Amino acid sequence: MQIISDIQQMQSLTGDFKRAGKRIAFVPTMGFLHQGHASLLREGRTRGDVLVLSIFINPIQFGQNEDLDRYPRDMERDCRIAAECGVDIVFTPDAAGMYPPGFQTGVTVRDISLPLCGASRPGHFDGVATVVTKLFNIVQPDLALFGRKDYQQLAVIRRMVQDLSMPVEIVGMPIVREADGLAMSSRNAYLSAEQRTSALCLHRSILKVRALFSSGERSTAALKQAALEIIGQEPSVLIEYVEFRDGATLAEQETADHATLLALAVRTGQTRLIDNTVLGEEL
């Protein structure tokens, strides 16, 4: 496994792979890898001849009062997990290389970036779309894998790739959960034991909504009420949003169907957690 920080070196390797007809699978991350990332890497390993993992904590997708400075980091552990998953190249650019002085270009995916996390984190998806575009230009992957826990991020990237005719297949992978149902996230590392227990209300509310949907409830107002009641039982958990949206367009829905997305965002202490489910799909 090679570790490369230099953008030009990565680009020149990418050129070699392309000329040799290799299929490049790519997993972009911000590091502090967990089993969710490992599932992307393992899938990437089966689909590509070359597997590239990027680790880059992208400053431009963080708001001013967000957790950029304290975002968890552990490069040694990340490299161990990467090696176990069969990664060929770990690409670790630095911020000065990615955003050199004078940098002034950005990618905006308009409407689909606005609701949900886009409303509470203005500019976040511009930062994501811009860095993913840069990473795609450097790594030139044939396919790139993203977790469905960041459902809106995946939708934004799919839209961008389609709109800008980027020659990359986007693969969305299922959410990986801890045994007790908590969706895996690098930010779970911030949680105290009590906060972690309270955070389980996200999964409980998802199970409740799915059960109601299975028994025939289609009113998103009623489904939302059920979710709010469960989360409301945890006084330390503040709700940012509980929304029902069309799984493809993210348009609001009054009547749920099998493609309806339930998207949730909460805060406990300083930590922001998100989760989601598509009502007609497996959990």
Q: Does 78 bind ligand PAF (CB under 6 A)?
A: no
Q: Does 28 bind ligand PAF (CB under 6 A)?
A: yes
Q: Does 30 bind ligand PAF (CB under 6 A)?
A: yes
Q: Does 133 bind ligand PAF (CB under 6 A)?
A: no
Q: Does 156 bind ligand PAF (CB under 6 A)?
A: no
Listed in sequence order, the DSSP H helices in the chain are 7-19, 35-47, 75-84, 95-98, 117-120, 124-139, 151-163, 193-214, 220-232
Q: In the complex, what is the shortest distance from the CB of residue 95 to ligand PAF, in angstroms, rounded to a whole number?
A: 12
Q: Nearest-5° angle of CA 202, CA 149, CA 44?
A: 150
Alpha carbon of 150 to those of 88, 131, 133, 228, 244: distances in Å?
A: 25, 16, 17, 21, 15
Q: In the complex, what is the shortest distance from the CB of residue 41 to ligand PAF, in angstroms, rounded to a whole number?
A: 13
Q: Does 61 bind ligand PAF (CB under 6 A)?
A: yes
The rounded distance, in Å, linking the Cα atoms of 22 and 15 is 10
Among 58, 195, 205, 253, binds ligand PAF (CB under 6 A): 58
Kind and range of the H or E run holding 262: strand 260-268
Both tokens of residue 271?
Answer: 């930590």
Q: Does 82 bind ligand PAF (CB under 6 A)?
A: no
Q: Which residues are catalytic?
A: 37
| CB burial of residue 13 (10 Å; 0-12, 13-18, 19+) | buried
Task: For ligand PAF, give the closer residue by CB, 37 or 203.
Answer: 37
What sign does the CA torsion over 244, 248, 254, 258 have?
Answer: negative
Q: In the complex, what is the shortest distance from the CB of residue 75 to ligand PAF, in angstroms, rounded to a whole number?
A: 15
Contact region with ligand PAF (CB under 6 A), list: 28-36, 64-72, 101-109, 230-238: 28-36
- Helices 124-139, 7-19: axis angle to 10 degrees equals 50
Q: In the complex, what is the shortest distance from the CB of residue 267 to ligand PAF, in angstroms, rounded to a whole number?
A: 19
- Residues that contact ligand PAF, how many (by CB under 6 A): 10
Alpha carbon of 190 to those of 61, 72, 150, 187, 204: distances in Å?
A: 19, 8, 18, 6, 21
Among 52, 79, 132, 175, binds ligand PAF (CB under 6 A): 132
In the block, tokens 């630095």 appear at: 94
Q: Does 188 bind ligand PAF (CB under 6 A)?
A: no
Among 131, 138, 161, 273, binds ligand PAF (CB under 6 A): 131
Task: For ligand PAF, give the closer residue by CB, 154 or 261.
Answer: 154
Among 14, 29, 220, 253, binds ligand PAF (CB under 6 A): 29
Both tokens of residue 67?
Answer: 């957790």
Would you tell me which residues interact with ligand PAF (CB under 6 A)? 28-30, 58, 61, 128, 131-132, 150, 153
